[in-house]
Amino acid sequence: MRDVVIVGAGPVGLWLAAELRRTGVEVTVLERLTEPVPHAKSLTMHPRTLELLAMRGLADRWLDEGKRIPSTHFALLDNRLSYAGLDTKYKFVLFLPQSRTEALLAEHASALGVEILRGRAVTGVRPGGDSVTVETDTGETFRARWVVGCDGPSSTVRKAAGIDFVGTPSTLSVPLGDVRLAEPPEAVSLTVNGDNGALFLVSLGDGRYRVSPTDHSMLHVPKDEPLTLEELKESTRRVVGTDFGMYDPSYLARFGNATLQAARYRNGRVLLAGDAAHIHMPLGGQGLNLGMQDATNLAWKLAAVIQGWAPSTLLDTYEAERHPVGARVIEDTRAQTALVVSTSPENKALRARFNELLAGHPSLNHELAVQVSGLGVSYGSSGWRMPDLDVGGTSVFSLLRDGRFVFLTTGDAPSLGSRVDVTRVEGLPWGGVLVRPDGHVAWVSEPGAGSVSDAFSGLLGWGSSGVG
């Protein structure tokens, strides 16, 4: 019997598998497709996700290939969100096709010993006592202590677990194409908005560009209707007056505004992450990032339960922490969608005013940048994100390389057991700080904080009795 079966070999499933395997958990990933998808569903990697990669010593692999853009958009408005003032080493958006992210993550997971089995479509998930049996269309069955569905919006795992997907279906569609441009703009990334709609354009490298016009006259074309190059050109011309001489499409599709979230992220020994748990309009490129951050939160908790140093109730904190984060992103993308797609005079006026606010109020611009970047996520009063401080010449992130708890102290350290790496450092802003494997703070020495030992035991669900 395996420890964990993960269904879905997209970025979320592969990252979760690698995070679990790093701790010694036996993991098998099942993927229905025999080969990776060649086109890029997503392109955007925000600062917090880059920080997660940096904590494991991997960020340079992505930085070497991606394109760095020092800003992002909000609702495709002309005045963009600046990342220059963010409290991170990664003050930019990284554009890298999802196909390359998946390839890098598959390489990373395989090197750690993750078993990735392609061509296995899951047909059934049957919980039973202390295990779950996963059935596939090949006739094979896989028995595991836990199953995690990372299998997208139509998740077989979610349906088998009886978890509702709550929200609204698609009511509109927006085209996108990966094409070559005979007359490309000078900018690597471009957002334009006007009376007839808005445009997102970004260089993919190798002479290709992703072009996505939100053409107000074509919003109600059925999402599943095939997109032609001529339609993409016509919509782009209507929005910005030129089609940039686009030709040679390698990918043409439409995306919708379906917005749904799983009512629960766990039912017994079955859990959900990524698009199996939440989908939304892909404005701002937040989906992949949200899913990988789900996986980072879940991995250390599931490993702790499997290895017996935390009770299964620790997994309840996964939903408690991540469900509100998903709901906030859904709220954000709905707000952006309202600004982008409405054609009423009132909404155009609101859009123009909001555009002015982003330019004239740096504090608003910064607040939205923190939110979209993922850096503002906090899990309660002591669950804020730990920045990558340089303490005594040591990077905090480098200490998180093994995915373990880290206790940093300027003085003597209490005994916290074998699950915590204790490091004495100079230049720490506090007397001591306990950092979770996902880079969030579990405890910091301040008045009324109590003892770090009690905080550690309480976090793991053992009350104040302590753990070994």
Shared-domain flag, residues 36 and 122: yes
- From the CA atom positions of the chain, what is the Rg in Å? 23
Q: Please count the helices (runs of H) and the strands (runs of E) in the chain.
A: 12, 27
Decide if pLDDT at 464 tops 90.
no
Instruction: Name which of 38, 30, 32, 37 is nearest 14 in CA terms.
Output: 30
Q: What is the pLDDT of residues 228-240, one digit of tens each?
A: 999 999 999 999 9
Determine the pLDDT at residue 417: 83
Determine the pLDDT at residue 195: 86
Instruction: Name which of 178, 176, 181 is nearest 227 in CA terms.
Output: 176
Shared-domain flag, residues 181 and 142: no
Shared-domain flag, residues 222 and 330: no
Share of the chain above pLDDT 70, in %: 99
**Mean local confidence (pLDDT), 90-107:** 96
Shared-domain flag, residues 164 and 268: yes
Share of the chain above pLDDT 90, in %: 81
Instruction: Name which of 153, 253, 258 is nearest 210 in CA terms.
Output: 253
Query: Quick check: 9 and 106 in contact, CB under 8 A?
Result: yes
Range of the domain at 324: 2-43+97-169+259-341
**In a 10 Å sphere around its CB, with 0-12 CB exposed, 13-18 middle and 19+ buried, how is residue 316 labelled?**
middle
Per-residue confidence at 347, pLDDT binned at 50, 70, 90? confident
Determine the pLDDT at residue 465: 45
Instruction: Name which of 73, 84, 345 is nearest 202 in CA terms.
Output: 73
Shared-domain flag, residues 225 and 248: yes
Dihedral sign, Cα of residue 23, residue 397, residue 51, residue 440 = positive
Q: What is the pLDDT of residues 176-220, one digit of tens each?
A: 999 999 999 988 888 988 889 999 999 988 889 999 999 999 999
Q: If you ran DSSP here, which 8-state letter would residue 237 be given?
A: H
Instruction: Name which of 112, 149, 146 is nearest 30 in CA terms.
Output: 149
Query: Quick check: 210 and 176 in contact, CB under 8 A?
Result: yes
Domain termination residue (choose one: 341, 362, 379): 341
Per-residue confidence at 321, pLDDT binned at 50, 70, 90? very high
Q: Please give the tally of structural domains in the chain.
A: 3
Spatial CB neighbours of 353, under 8 Å, sequence gap ≥ 6: none
* Selected residue with higher pLDDT from 149 and 461: 149
Determine the pLDDT at residue 425: 84
Decide if pLDDT at 468 tops 50.
no
For residues 460 and 304, give the distance between their C-alpha atoms in angstroms, rounded to a whole number.
Answer: 8
Q: What is the CATH number of the domain that holds 158?
A: 3.50.50.60
Residue 59 falls within a domain, yes or no? no
Shared-domain flag, residues 231 and 141: no
Decide if pLDDT at 463 tops 70.
no
Decide if pLDDT at 467 tops 60.
no
For residues 425 and 402, give the distance between their C-alpha atoms in angstroms, rounded to a whole number.
Answer: 19
Q: What is the pLDDT of residues 151-169, one digit of tens each?
A: 999 999 999 999 999 999 9
The terminus-to-terminus CA distance of the chain in angstroms comes to 26
Q: What is the CATH number of the domain that holds 224?
A: 3.30.70.2450
Q: If you ran DSSP here, which 8-state letter would residue 274 be given?
A: G
Query: Quick check: 245 and 181 in contact, CB under 8 A?
Result: yes
Q: What is the pLDDT of residues 14-49, one digit of tens each?
A: 999 999 999 999 999 999 999 998 888 899 999 999
Domain termination residue (choose one: 313, 341, 369): 341
Q: What is the pLDDT of residues 77-90, one digit of tens each?
A: 989 999 999 999 99
Q: What is the CATH number of the domain that holds 440?
A: 3.40.30.120
Determine the pLDDT at residue 188: 85
Residue 429 falls within a domain, yes or no? yes
Using DSSP bridges, classify how beta strands 420-424 and 405-409 pair: parallel, antiparallel or unpaired.
parallel
User: Phi, psi at residue 97, to the nearest 5°?
Assistant: -55, 140
Instruction: Name which of 252, 173, 271 is nearest 220 in CA terms.
Output: 173
Angle between helix 11-22 and helix 287-306 axes, rounded to 10 deg:
30
Q: Which residues of 119-151 are buried (b: 16+ CB within 10 A; e: fewer)?
A: ebebeebeeeeeebbbbbeeeeebebbbbbbbb
Residue 379 falls within a domain, yes or no? no
Determine the pLDDT at residue 466: 46
pTM of the model: 0.96
Residue 180 falls within a domain, yes or no? yes
Decide if pLDDT at 335 tops 70.
yes
Residue 315 falls within a domain, yes or no? yes
Shared-domain flag, residues 263 and 229: no
Residue 432 falls within a domain, yes or no? yes
Q: What is the pLDDT of residues 414-433, one digit of tens each?
A: 778 888 999 888 888 888 99
For residues 94 and 65, give the distance between their C-alpha atoms in angstroms, rounded to a whole number.
Answer: 9
Shared-domain flag, residues 180 and 246: yes
Residue 455 falls within a domain, yes or no? yes
Shared-domain flag, residues 18 and 154: yes
Domain termination residue (choose one: 256, 285, 305): 256
Shared-domain flag, residues 312 and 329: yes
For all residues of the chain together, what is the average pLDDT? 93
Shared-domain flag, residues 452 and 324: no
Residue 359 falls within a domain, yes or no? no
How many residues are listed for the chain in this entry? 468
Q: What is the pLDDT of residues 254-299, one digit of tens each?
A: 999 999 999 999 999 999 999 999 999 999 899 999 999 999 999 9
Shared-domain flag, residues 314 and 236: no
